[in-house]
A and B are shown apart, each in its own frame.
Chain A
Amino acid sequence: MPSGLMTPEPAVIRAVREVTPDTLLFQVDVERPAGAAPFDYLPGQFAELSVLGVGECPISITSTPTRPGLVEFAVREAGDVTRALHDLVAGDRLGLRGPLGNGFPLPALEGRSILFIAGGIGLAPLRGLINFVLDRRERFGAVDIVYGARSPELLCFDWEFETWAAAPDTALHLTVDAAAPGWDGEVGFVPAMVRRLGLEPADRVAVACGPPIMIKYVLDDLAAAGYGSDDVITTLELKMKCGVGKCGRCNIGPRYVCLDGPVFTLSQLERLPREY
């Protein structure tokens, strides 16, 4: 990281792509001076993105380090900073601090089958890991991806679906909350689809990210289905400012989401107060 813990480095937006009507994908060139360490990251890490004069907010990295080059962030418009980010176009600069946070426990996932469970924009942090796993396909077992959104146009990253479904030993299970014109796929909530699939724990690890209500049901269901709490992984979102464990904002009990997370196993969460 450049000098100054709280000082962003400049990064150039090379392309902007619509993910859903309220979410844009920014492909960013993290240009560092010659001799500086490259922007090395793990799937599941995040960065603080700045629009100088407006502010800064934490956004998960949605690209995979197995595909060097541009770093990708999916930004849903929700407040002042994300609104200002949405006003940026290819060629503009944004400020960036990162990578921050722990990322997914890759060594613990190697050799295991993986059940990805995502809802809405919750696919953003998982997409980096999914593509990482598919790029290193031989190191992992079977892959199931259960993904849902409120409606078909809110499904993120639909351009990935074909590739994912066609990958070896990989199944993609899509659903939307309610029937919609032009949608001939499954209808229903994500937790219900996970239950219906009945994927046995066996050697499987579940990795889930989505809105709190979805996570609550999914975690309970996985526990009931016999998944050990070390084999259920989720990635959390809380309000952050510094991103480096100083500003005291993103704690859950004694843990900081910015330093100790955002990725946690269910067994870690079970020891913390229910404030996430």
Chain B
Amino acid sequence: MTSMFLERGLLEEAAVLLARTAEVWAPVDEPGLDAPSFGRPGEGLPLAIGPRLPLLPLKTLFLPRVEELFRFAGGAEGPVVVAADVPERERVVLGALACDIRSLELLDRVLLAEPADERYRQRRERTTLLALACTGESPACFCTSLNIDPLRPSGADGLLSPTGEGWLVEALTGKGRDLFERLEPLLRPATAAEIEAAGALASISRAAVSLDPPPGGWDRVWELATWEETATRCIACGICTVLCPTCHCFDVQDEKRGSGGARFRVWDTCMSQQFTQMAHGMNPRPLHFSRVRQRFLHKLVYFAERYGAIACVGCGRCARRCPNATGIDEIAARLRADLEEDGNA
């Protein structure tokens, strides 16, 4: 198949063309924000297709921050459910990066496990992911340490590789081929030089980070004094859970409007004391450090044991945005060191 090329100046036009048949989402730059956010191209904000991580991860498009589950209305015998599942339009995401795409594959393991979350499943099935080959933003990210290839993300339907004055485009799945057929009027065959340049793309060197257990395993990690020691600087703001592409915990609440209302789900955080606080007073994680421990062990140990992978994609958002600059990489290193020291004692 001939390799095709999309010229930089045609990007906005490509987004408009795709928007005729689908809801298009892409990183856009909002005034005053230091990072792009996922938005709708063509609504006045400039596209930010590049290796800059959006502030909020891709999960926002699949497990929205607030989502109505159903509405209810007052009836003679009390409120009754009047609306439930709302089908979603077909969607295209332009310019997603490998770390965020990998996070969807991890979220799938939770949300598509039987009984599957129907709303999430519909969004996944109806979304075509067009990835941008990521040449790296900052040394704070470490996707390569988690076996993610930032230049050829697995899980994407199509790939844009930046080269020269645009992008070499490549379909990776049937969904991706359909998408490029729609873009055909804007594509031209790539030149040999462009193909060669795309093949020679290199990602900036990234931090080598290990989230793996020490040789003796994580067995005694729960008991370590490390938790009490490291938790002292955490202010329990929960921003790490908001920004983490793999954090998926949600709360379910009702909102009354007159005699009716709605039940919705909303992102929640395990850093909150309320998260596990039961109505009759008992709380299995009553102490701050026990909640810090839960967050990191969920990523490093519990998720790995249950779903077969560490729940981290190396995006570095937690470390960069934490008020106290605590990242999962630093915690894992400290735990490994303390376990080894403990073992040698």
Contacts and interface: CB of A to CB of B under 8 A. Distances in A.
Contacts of B261: 52-53
Contacts of B248: 246, 248
A57 B69 CA distance: 16
A78 B282 CA distance: 11
A242 to B, nearest CB: 7
Interface string A1-37: 1011111101000000000000000000000000000
A249 interface: yes
Interface stretch (A87-95, A153-161, A170-178, A261-269): A87-95
A254 B302 CA distance: 4
Judged by DSSP, the binding face of B is mixed
A93 B290 contact: no
Contacts of B275: 239, 249
A251 B298 contact: yes
B253 interface: yes
Given A4-B118, A5-B118, A242 B252 contact: yes
B72 A53 contact: yes
Contacts of B290: 275
Contact of B306 (A1, A244, A254): A254
A7 B69 contact: yes
Interface in B257-283: 260-261, 263, 265, 268, 270, 275-280, 282
B78 interface: yes
B278 A237 contact: yes
B78 to A, nearest CB: 5
A246 B111 contact: yes
Contacts of A79: 278-280
A53 B115 CA distance: 25
B285 interface: yes
Nearest to B107: A246
Contacts of B276: 238-239, 249
Contacts of B113: 245
Judged by DSSP, the binding face of A is loop
Interface residues of B, number: 50
Given A53-B254, A55-B253, A238-B284, A248 B117 contact: no
Q: How large is the interface on A (under 10, 10 to 19, 20 to 34, 35 or more residues)?
A: 35 or more
B285 A275 contact: yes
Contacts of B305: 253-254
A5 B275 CA distance: 21
Contacts of A180: none
Interface in B48-78: 69-70, 72, 77-78
B301 A254 contact: yes
A92 to B, nearest CB: 6
Contacts of A4: 69-70, 84-85, 118
B280 A52 contact: no
Interface string B294-335: 100110011101100000000000000000000000000000
Given A78-B279, A241-B252, A248-B250, 9 more contacts: A3-B84, A6-B265, A53-B260, A78-B280, A80-B279, A244-B115, A247-B249, A247-B252, A275-B290
18 contacts: A3-B84, A5-B116, A7-B84, A53-B72, A53-B256, A57-B279, A92-B78, A95-B81, A238-B278, A238-B284, A241-B251, A248-B248, A251-B302, A253-B297, A254-B303, A255-B306, A275-B285, A275-B290
> 4 tightest A-B contacts by CB?
A79-B279, A248-B249, A52-B79, A78-B279
Interface of A: 1, 3-8, 10, 52-57, 76, 78-82, 91-93, 95, 212, 237-239, 241-242, 244-249, 251-255, 273, 275-276
